[in-house]
Amino acid sequence: MKSWNLLSTGQIARLLHTCPRTVSKWVDSGRLPGYRLPLSTDRRVTREALLEFLRRYNIPIPQELGLPLLLVAGDSTMAEQLRPRLVGWEIEAAGSVWAAAASATKVGGRLRVAVVSSQMGRAEARAIARALAGQVRLRVVLCAEDDDGSNWADDPTLVRMQYPVGPDALARVIRLGMMDMEEPK
């Protein structure tokens, strides 16, 4: 998948199957945050601004803009089960703390949701969840068997689910979690 961080009105128009002039009107009216290039009538919009605009107006997100997901689990079964349920999302599966760190680095600032499962071990799951929870605009879903949640109660970026969790329920929580995330201050 091509990774675009800055998009022209023409690129956005092609992604959304509309006219570049329509996109320009969205930018000029302030509905779609963007800017004009100096000494030009061309406009640019960040990938993040476009994704937020699409979410706000309930416009389907084109597959080319897929939302990243880091899935941390003991095996790739859950990743394979989530792929057809989260079409357009990039899914990274990691089976260890080191693989999770490498995957998080690979997707960088595009990482929005991390699913941490206690399948790999409770201590490892907690370590990964804590390390990832500090990142800006990241939602962490912790799937744990016997975690009472007492150490996580005050963390608004964390969604706890009882393990085992089905792929339909997990996909629903991921989608809902993305909708209620606040913009960074």
Note the pLDDT tens digit of each residue in 151-167. 555 555 566 677 677 88
Note the pLDDT tens digit of each residue in 36-86. 999 998 999 998 889 889 888 988 878 677 666 766 666 678 888 888 887
The CA-atom distances, in angstroms, between 58 and each of 50, 52, 55, 145, 176 are 12, 10, 5, 34, 13
Residues 60 and 54 sit within 8 Å (Cβ to Cβ): yes
Residues 45 and 81 both lie in one domain: no
Q: Which of 185, 183, 179 is nearest to 67 (CA)?
A: 179
> Which structural domain, as residue segments, surrounds residue 79?
67-179
Token pair of 60, please?
């389907």
Residues 74 and 17 both lie in one domain: no
Residues 126 and 42 both lie in one domain: no
Q: What is the pLDDT of residue 108?
A: 65
**Position 167 in a domain:** yes
Between these two residues, 162 and 11, which has the higher pLDDT value?
Answer: 11
Residues 137 and 150 both lie in one domain: yes
Q: What is the pLDDT of residue 31?
A: 96
Q: At what angle do helices 20-29 and 9-16 cross, to 10 degrees?
A: 110
pTM of the model: 0.55
The CA angle 143-3-86, to the nearest 5 degrees, is 35
Residues 97 and 124 sit within 8 Å (Cβ to Cβ): yes
Please count the residues of the chain: 185
- Total domains in the fold of the chain: 2
Mean pLDDT, the chain, as a whole number?
A: 76
Token pair of 16, please?
């959304």
Q: Any residues with CB less than 8 A from the CB of 75 and at least 6 apart, and which?
A: 95, 119
Percent of the chain past pLDDT 90, that is, above it, reads: 21
How far apart CA 148 and CA 160 sit, in angstroms, is 10
Averaged over 79-107, what is the pLDDT?
A: 78
CATH code, 130: 3.40.50.2300
**Position 185 in a domain:** no
Q: What is the pLDDT of residue 104?
A: 77
Last residue in a domain, options 45, 63, 81: 63
